[in-house]
Amino acid sequence: MSDPSEALASAKAAADRIVNVKRLNACLTPIKELRKSLAAQASTAHPSGVLYGMPVAVKDNICTLEFTTSCGSKILEGYRSPYDATAAAKLKAAGALIAGKTNCDEFGMGSSTEHSAYGRTLHPFDKTRVPGGSSGGSAALVAAGAVPAALGSETGGSVRQPASLCGVVGIKPTYGRVSRYGLVAFGSSLDQIGVLGRSVHDAARVLSVISGRDPKDSTCEDRDSLRLPNVPESLQGFVIGVPKEYFPQDLDAAVRRACDRAIRLLRELGAAVREVSLPHTAYAVATYYIIAPAEASSNLARYDGARYGPRFNGSEDVRALYRTTRGDGFGPEVRRRVLVGTYVLSSGYYDAYYRKAQQMRALIAQDFRNVFDRGVDLLFTPTTPTPAFKAGEKLNDPVAMYLSDIFTVTANIAGLPAISVPIGRIKGLPIGGQLIGQAFLEDEMLEAAYALERAVPAAEEA
């Protein structure tokens, strides 16, 4: 596609499809504004770009000039960034169209997209269920066929978990592969922008565009953008490890069946599959829920009502302004994590929590290196312990909610690339399988994902 009329047609069709799934509450951008912007973007998009005319929705915690960036929070209601996130700028430079901002758990804190100040997003196949989160809006829009791909962000699985629950592909690249500039920070040492796509290819080509060095982000690696691999004929020569800690006794039987089928298919494709052990896995969620809130408590300190965003009543002095703005502006999950994070960094507790968690983080990362050093190329695990759960089911039980990220947080803790690929249905609900790769070897991970995607009957019951 390189004809402006085709880009305009693509823009209009995307807007129509997004209107059609309005009931999901996946897109936060008002439809009139979205139509107008898409048309304007289509008329000025770069025709030579590799994504020319492709509509890509963007999670609401990634800054764009076109639309507001509220992060699913009241505290940033109506906030318009004066700059584009590097990922958004790269999308536009490649000719893609920013197809609105997608709903998410507030500041990315949540696993169900129920913690949004703008209402929950519905699962596209069952409105009583959640699409996962925090990038639930992006996952739902892709799953509903409104856009071929969408940007999400991950701190502990916020792309892969909703991808698994919605039956789409979700990629979290290596930490440092994609610039975080313009991604509103939650847990800076864990955050990465990821991509949700209809297929491995759709997700991968968007990832390729947004990846690569960025002088504005000191944690972004000085590397060229990711080169897309070819779809392999077989997986001959691949060694895929299956970590036993990810298949506990009490794992959901249907999830286990789906995984077993996927593992059998990987074998049939020529991969050598062997059981491996990542002994510190049990500590991953606890480690995550110290480090992420600690960083969040500091990252979210800037939302004080003094410079931007709404101010809430009772701002007679500056302390009162902080109290009411932060008390009323943040939702309960954000307040919980800010409190936890403030606590674990406090003098007298830092050593017991934050420092210990950093030590555990190093051990978890070392687990992965040990396995990879012994000739394993990739790991295969379930992405989530269950398919999409009911709305409200875990809302009052934060720990149960946190455990839905149990298989995904480790890749964030270790900074590794990982992808969730649909591997079947459980009573009609999608479930994903996860491949975890070695740092900056996304190409190998994508090759295996291509082969698995092609082989697995994802629409069939496991």
Partner 1 sequence: MAGAWETVIGLETHVQLRTVSKMFCGCSAAFGAPPNTNVCPVCLGLPGALPVPNEHALQLAVRAALGLGCTVHPRSVFARKNYFYPDLPKGYQISQFEQPLATAGSLSYLSPDRGIATATIQRLHVEEDAGKSLHDRFPKQTAIDLNRCGVPLIEIVTGPDFRSPHEARTYLLTLKQVLEYAAISDCDMEKGSLRVDANVSVRRVGETMLGTKTEVKNINSFAYVEKALTVERDRQIAVLEGGGTLAPQTMLYDSKTNGVRPQRSKEESHDYRYFPDPDLPPLVLTEQFIAEQQTLLPELPAKKRERFVEKYALSVTDAAVLTADRNVADYYEAVVHAGADAKTAANWVMTEVLADAKDHADGLRVAAGALANLIGLVRGGTLSHQAAKRVFAEVAERGGEPRNVAEALGLVQVADTGVLSGWVSDVLGAHTSEVMRYKQGETKLLQFFVGQVMKASRGKADPKLAQRVLEEKLAP
Decide if residue 178 touches partner 1 (CB under 8 A).
Answer: no
Among residues 4, 9, 31, 188, the one that binds partner 1 under rule CB under 8 A: 188
Provide the minimum distance between the beta carbon of 60 and partner 1 in the complex, in angstroms, as a whole number. 11
- Among candidates 163, 147, 160, which has minimal Cα distance to 57? 147
Closer Cβ to partner 1, 56 or 292, answer by number: 292
Task: Report the alpha-carbon distance of residue 367 to residue 414 in Å, rounded.
Answer: 9
User: What are 59's strand-pairing partners?
Assistant: 102
Decide if residue 181 touches partner 1 (CB under 8 A).
Answer: yes
Task: Report the alpha-carbon distance of residue 139 to residue 158 in Å, rounded.
Answer: 10
Task: Report the alpha-carbon distance of residue 397 to residue 62 in Å, rounded.
Answer: 28
Task: Report the alpha-carbon distance of residue 372 to residue 241 in Å, rounded.
Answer: 9
Provide the minimum distance between the beta carbon of 56 and partner 1 in the complex, in angstroms, as a whole number. 18
DSSP element (H, E) containing 196 = strand 192-197
| Residues 279-318 within binding reach of partner 1 (CB under 8 A) | 294-295, 297-298, 300-302, 304, 306-308, 318
Helices (H), 55-197: 86-93, 136-143, 160-166
Task: Exactly one of 10, 37, 81, 134 is catalytic; name it.
Answer: 134
CA distances from 37 to 12, 40, 57, 402 (A): 10, 5, 13, 37
Compute φ and ψ for 279, nearest 5 degrees: -60, -25
Provide the minimum distance between the beta carbon of 214 and partner 1 in the complex, in angstroms, as a whole number. 9
Decide if residue 81 touches partner 1 (CB under 8 A).
Answer: yes
Q: Are 443 and 435 in contact (CB under 8 A)?
A: no
Task: Report the alpha-carbon distance of residue 401 to residue 283 in Å, rounded.
Answer: 16
Decide if residue 193 touches partner 1 (CB under 8 A).
Answer: no
Site map for partner 1, 339-358, x if CB under 8 A? ---x--xxx--x---x----
Closer Cβ to partner 1, 238 or 288, answer by number: 288
- Span of 71-79, 225-233, 389-397, 435-443 interacting with partner 1 by CB under 8 A: 71-79
- Radius of gyration of the chain from its Cα atoms, rounded to whole angstroms: 21
> DSSP character for 355?
I
- Among candidates 77, 76, 81, which has minimal Cα distance to 63? 81
> DSSP character for 231?
P
Task: Exactly one of 59, 90, 92, 172 is catalytic; name it.
Answer: 59
Query: How many residues make up the chain in this entry?
Result: 462
Site map for partner 1, 219-258, x if CB under 8 A? x---------------------------------------
Task: Report the alpha-carbon distance of residue 326 to residue 450 in Å, rounded.
Answer: 45
Q: Does the annotation count 172 as an active-site position?
A: no
Among residues 48, 82, 351, 399, the one that binds partner 1 under rule CB under 8 A: 82
Question: Residue 300 in 3-state DSSP?
Answer: helix
Decide if residue 183 touches partner 1 (CB under 8 A).
Answer: yes
Q: Does the annotation count 158 as an active-site position?
A: yes
Closer Cβ to partner 1, 63 or 265, answer by number: 63
Distance from the Cα of residue 281 to its chain's centroid: 21
Task: Exactly one of 81, 153, 158, 297 is catalytic; name it.
Answer: 158
Site map for partner 1, 352-391, x if CB under 8 A? --x-------------------------------------
Among residues 83, 237, 274, 459, the one that binds partner 1 under rule CB under 8 A: 83
Binding residues (CB under 8 A) for partner 1: these are 62-63, 69, 71, 76, 79, 81-83, 85, 180-185, 187-189, 215-219, 294-295, 297-298, 300-302, 304, 306-308, 318, 322, 342, 345-347, 350, 354
Q: Which residues are catalytic?
A: 59, 134, 158
